[in-house]
Amino acid sequence: MDLKPHRKIIHVDMDAFYASVEQMDNPELRGKPLAVGGGGERGVVAAASYEARKFGVRSAMSGAQAKRNCPDLIFVKPRFSRYKEISGQIREIFHEYTDLVEPLSLDEAYLDVTQNKANIPSASIIATAIRRKIFEKVGLAASAGISNSKFVAKIASDVNKPNGQKTIAPEEVEAFLEELPIEKFFGIGKVTAGKMYLLGIFTGKDLKSKSLEFLKNHFKSSGEHYYHVVRGNHHSDVKPNRIQKSVAAEHTFVKNLTSEIYMMERLETIATELENRLKKSKVAGKTITLKIKYSDFTLQTRSKTLAYFIKDKDILLQTVRELLYQDALKDSVRLLGISVSNLNNTDHKNEKVIDVQLKFEF
């Protein structure tokens, strides 16, 4: 097995982060089923406490369904400025041990502690110390996974949740992955797992038995990825300065939209917000994507790549209008979003950005 020697990676994942912050700040909510998000007709659960998860309440679930699952569920509005503040405190703790910290979101990050500031040889001991310090200084519980790759550490952090950790030593990686249910593999969602079931793939061992050609035939470019990760061959570095790949803005509507005219009115507001985000991030992009979520929750995206970088609202709207009218809508729409990718923050920093206030007739 082609393993990178002496590599020690920790994946730290905060337990029910948003919900735990709300329970910490409001003692009356502790021990009660709690959902962060909207409980109304169009509300969506952003996070659920472990008390709520016992009733099947999950993130991305509609607020109405969550309330049916758990009639006593308490909804609170998200406070992202507070979550960002707490996240900053947690990252300061990470940096006490290593500067090789790769945040994935406000509540999770990879740490490479192969060489660390505390000169502690054991990554497991470091993970324990970090979790203890987070609890003492911040007041929240965290879980951790420890292994020789980001992929395995990510999976391992979920094994002993909440408030636990799991170490997978290099010599244990292949056996661990072979026994793992296929749906537990990071990056394999319900749809892909269902397809694998039909092919007789239920565990890592089943996946490992398939040839590279077989996996590429059935899963295209992802097939090669599955072939290597199940063998423990995943060596991507912890990247402290992750490059932003896209900027987006979206909105869920109180009532479904059925007219493209009304949709364009909403898209103008979304485009204005996106323009502000692009300028704040000091980036521009070439690829514009329109996101459409229908009333039955099915999702559709339509994209167009321009010949130049843009961040101007009017050009965004012109392109989004083309994408909206590109094909007939199959149903009423509950969410619209616009994203800009293929950004000029990598190899294209010196290319020209079109940033003029053009006027288009609609």
Instruction: Name which of 250, 11, 333, 269 is nearest 152 in CA terms.
Output: 11
Q: Which residue has the tokens 């249910």?
A: 181
- Please indicate, yes or no, if residue 183 is contained in any of the structural domains: no
Is residue 235 a part of any domain in this protein? Answer: no
Neighbour count for residue 86 (Cβ, 10 Å): 22
Asked whether residue 255 falls in the same domain as residue 342, the answer is: yes
The pLDDT value recorded for residue 115 is 94
Residue 236 within any structural domain of the chain:
no
Where do runs of H (alpha helix) occur along the chain? 17-25, 50-53, 63-69, 80-95, 123-137, 150-156, 173-179, 190-198, 204-208, 212-219, 221-229, 260-281, 313-324
Q: Which one of 80, 95, 111 terminates a domain?
A: 80
Q: Are residues 251 and 349 in the same domain?
A: yes
Boundary of a domain, candidates 58, 80, 102: 80
Q: Examine the domain organization and report whether 283 and 332 are in the same domain.
A: yes
Q: Does a structural domain hold residue 361?
A: no
Q: 24 and 73 in one domain?
A: yes
**92 within domain boundaries:** yes
- Closest-CA residue to 285 (of 266, 307, 300, 317): 307
Q: Which two tokens stand for residue 290?
A: 């329109």
Please check whether residues 44 and 143 belong to one and the same domain: no
Quick one: 157 and 210 in the same domain?
no
Question: Is 172 a known active-site residue?
Answer: no
Same domain flag for 272 and 307: yes
Q: Does residue 360 belong to any structural domain of this protein?
A: no
- Asked, for residue 234, whether it belongs to a domain, the answer is no
Return the ∠ at Cα 274 (arms to 271 and 277), rounded to 5°: 155
Walk along the chain (362 residues) and give the pLDDT tens digit of each residue.
444 456 899 999 999 999 999 999 999 999 999 999 987 767 889 899 999 999 999 988 888 899 999 999 999 999 989 999 999 999 999 999 999 999 988 999 999 999 999 999 999 999 999 999 999 999 999 999 999 999 999 999 999 999 999 999 999 999 999 999 999 998 898 889 999 999 999 999 999 999 999 999 999 888 999 999 999 888 889 989 777 788 999 998 888 999 999 999 999 999 999 999 998 888 999 999 999 999 888 899 999 999 889 989 999 999 999 999 988 898 999 999 999 998 987 655 445 554 443 333 32
Encode burial over 292-322: b for 16+ CB neighbours within 10 A, e otherwise.
Answer: bbbeeeeeeeeeeeeeebbbbbbbbbbbbbe
Closest CA to 147 of 129, 172, 119: 172
- Report the SS3 class of residue 109: strand
Same domain, 113 and 35: no
Whichever domain contains 299, its CATH number is: 3.30.1490.100
Rounded Cα distance, 239 and 216, in Å: 28
Q: Of 108, 250, 265, 268, which one is the catalytic site residue?
A: 108
Co-location of 254 and 348 in the same domain: yes
Residue range of the domain that includes 295: 246-354
Q: Is 139 domain-assigned?
A: yes
Residue 350 and residue 260 share a domain: yes
Query: Exposed, middle or buried by CB within 10 Å (0-12, 13-18, 19+), for 236?
Result: exposed
Per-position DSSP letters for 6-55, written without gaps between them: T--EEEEEETTHHHHHHHHH-GGGTTS-EEEE--STT-BEEEE-HHHHTT
Is 108 in a helix, a strand, or coil?
strand
CATH of the domain at 115: 3.30.70.270
Q: What is the pTM of this model?
A: 0.74
* Residue after which a domain boundary falls, among 80, 110, 131: 80
Q: How many domains are contained in the chain?
A: 4
Residues 94 and 31 occupy one common structural domain: no
Note whether 73 and 90 are same-domain residues: no
